[in-house]
Amino acid sequence: MAEAKSPARPAERPLSPHLQIYSLTWTMAMSVIHRATGIALYAGTLLLAYWLVSLAAGPAAYAIAQDVFGSVIGRVVLFGYTWALLHHMAGGIRHFVWDLGYGFDYKSRMGLARGTLIASGILTIVIWVIGLSVG
């Protein structure tokens, strides 16, 4: 007859893994960053809405918004928003590749994770260089 487990006698099976057992990997870090950029996009979308409302409110309100976004802090925030947007997009493409059934071996997972970070950084810089040279 099987014995019932009591609190004094715990089950003899491994407990669910937790953060103290796992070591941080590229794919784990990109997963966390993907979620963080998704959250950051909410705040950035509020800034975009503010800019659009100021545009509709008239020249005085638009001038204030342009001053805010044209300041050093404003440009740093916009640069971060651009990177978050592009990183989240690259992470979405990485997940799409996985949804198609590809990229599950170790080398592909690492390449996709690193590629997500590298591509988002390069694309952000390219967009800002183009934007600053045109504007």
Report the binding-site residues: 88
**Local structure of residue 71 (DSSP, 8 states):** S
Residues 6+ apart with CB under 8 A from 64: 54
Q: Phi and psi at residue 101, in whole multiples of 5°? A: 95, 15
Q: If phi over 0 gives left and psi between -120 and 50 gives alpha, with beta otherwise, what is residue 58? A: left
Q: Which residues are annotated as a binding site for heme?
A: 88
CB atoms under 10 Å from CB of 87, counted, come to: 25
For residues 4 and 22, give the distance between their C-alpha atoms in angstroms, rounded to a whole number.
31
* 8 A C-beta contact, residue 82 and residue 128: yes
